[in-house]
Amino acid sequence: MMKSDIAVAKGSDTERVPCPRDVFELESTLEKLEQELREINSNQDTLKHNFTELMEMKYLLQMAEDFFEQAECQLSVSELPSEDSITLTTSSRMARRTSSIASHTGPLKLGFVAGVIRHERFLSFEKILWRLFHGNFVLRHAEIQIQEEENNTILKKTEEYRQNVLTAAAGHIQDWSTKVRKMKAVYYTLNLCNIDITQKLIVAEIWCPVSDLASVQAALMKGSEQSGCSVNPVLNRIPTSHTPPTFNRTNAFTAAFQSIIDAYGVADYQEINPAPYTIVTFPFLFAIMFGDCGHGLVMSLLAVWVIYQEEHFRHLKNELIDVLVGGRYILLLMGLFSIYTGLIYNDCFSKSFNIFGSSWSVRPMFYPHGPWTNDTLHGNAHLQLDPAVPGVFSGSPYPFGIDPVSEGEAL
């Protein structure tokens, strides 16, 4: 299908698990399809081979006919009397006739062989003839150029039929693949089960959340009805002294954060799961380090775009894209927290900004209102503003974030 550029149709989303008889029907269908395609390909190759041979013979006969017609024309032209031949003597004419008669009645016989050979083998073929006949041969060749328009009707019909068969198969290949994967999953699960002593029942021991027992019972009943089993499934809770495994229920939003926690270690049964706290602490600690509202906005927009294009990206088989899709909500929260801390830091695309204006002023600290002079400014590496000096502090704090005076801006 890939060689023929045939698009594979999307399969229908169904929750029905195929029965064993469906697998047998699928196997029979695939065997018939394989046999039919093998016959079509074999017949097509045979037709192409025969068609190529016929076209080569056709062009070979045409070229041989053109060669002999050209030789006859040259011979007839050479035998025509010219003005110079009229002045020849009678003795020369007799000598030429004698030699001509001797040539026709002598044992010398000329023959020809015509055929088709590949272009890359022609030089080797010419060398072999030269060594075989010691140079006593005449070799003429011409390249055969078969036009693509000269195609056979049978070949076209065969190709059309082959395309129709492949197109019909492409419409079901996704459904067939889904059935096979589901049956593989069923048999994989059955291999984990044990067989009863009577060799008629299958016993499975599993760990299951108590809240999902009703769902498991309903799934067993549904599977029993679909398979046509006459025995109803039995579900019992078995008391055990073993420590149950840890199960953390997740969704599309919390799955990525739970993966981060599991990478460091899985909590024991009935221990507190730190994943809910990580939903806040992980992106916030990143934002404290990152702290740029411009870059945070870009990151948030990227995360929103990935969330909306999630179904499209899941069909792309790429490890980097899988990581990006899996952490889309982490990127979103990191971007939002980065916008928040960037506004606190007064930082946008690595550039400081001042929205509300500073609540502090340096000018009142200089003489005559304050104790500072130019010598004080040049003689001290660090100076501290005194809010007791009138006009240095306005009395109202900065509305949001850190006052820009801490950034060392000119005020």
Which amino acid is residue 98, in one-letter code? T
**Rounded percentage of the chain residues whose pLDDT exceeds 70:** 84
The reply to whether 168 and 265 lie within a common domain is no
| Residue at 105 is within a domain | no
- Number of domains the chain is built from: 2
Q: What share of the chain is helix, strand, coil (3-state, %, to 5)?
A: 55, 5, 40
Domain boundary among 318, 334, 352: 352
The reply to whether 140 and 276 lie within a common domain is no
Domain boundary among 352, 378, 402: 352
| Residue at 133 is within a domain | yes
pLDDT at 381: 79
| Residue at 358 is within a domain | no
| Residue at 179 is within a domain | no
Tokens 């055990």 identify what position? 240
Domain boundary among 149, 173, 197: 173
Check residues 71 and 224 and name the one with the higher pLDDT.
Answer: 224
Which amino acid is residue 407, in one-letter code? E
CA distances 117 to 60, 70, 124, 130, Å, are: 11, 23, 11, 17
The reply to whether 133 and 262 lie within a common domain is no
The reply to whether 32 and 161 lie within a common domain is yes
The reply to whether 273 and 160 lie within a common domain is no
pLDDT higher than 80, residue 112: no
pLDDT higher than 70, residue 96: no
Alpha carbon distance 65, 48 (integer Å): 26
C-alpha Rg value of the chain to the nearest Å: 46
DSSP letter at 210? G
The reply to whether 21 and 149 lie within a common domain is yes
| Residue at 91 is within a domain | no
Mean pLDDT in the chain?
80
| Residue at 130 is within a domain | yes
The reply to whether 123 and 16 lie within a common domain is yes
The reply to whether 26 and 149 lie within a common domain is yes
Query: Whole domain around residue 33: which residue ranges?
Result: 1-79+110-173
The reply to whether 27 and 156 lie within a common domain is yes
In this prediction, residue 75 has a pLDDT band, given cuts at 50, 70 and 90, of low
- Residue 20: asked if its preceding bond is cis (omega within 30°), the reply is no
Alpha carbon distance 52, 11 (integer Å): 41
Please provide the DSSP assignment of 82-142 as one string: -HHHHT--HHHHHHHHHHHHHHHHSS-----------GGGHHHHHHHHHHHHTT-------
| Residue at 321 is within a domain | yes
User: pTM of the full predicted structure?
Assistant: 0.59
The reply to whether 161 and 262 lie within a common domain is no
Contact yes or no for 12/175 (Cβ under 8 A): yes
Tokens 């590496």 identify what position? 381
The reply to whether 164 and 260 lie within a common domain is no
**Per-residue pLDDT tens digits for 13-51:** 666 677 777 778 888 888 988 888 888 888 888 888 888
Handedness of CA 354, 358, 362, 363 (dihedral sign): positive
| Residue at 199 is within a domain | no
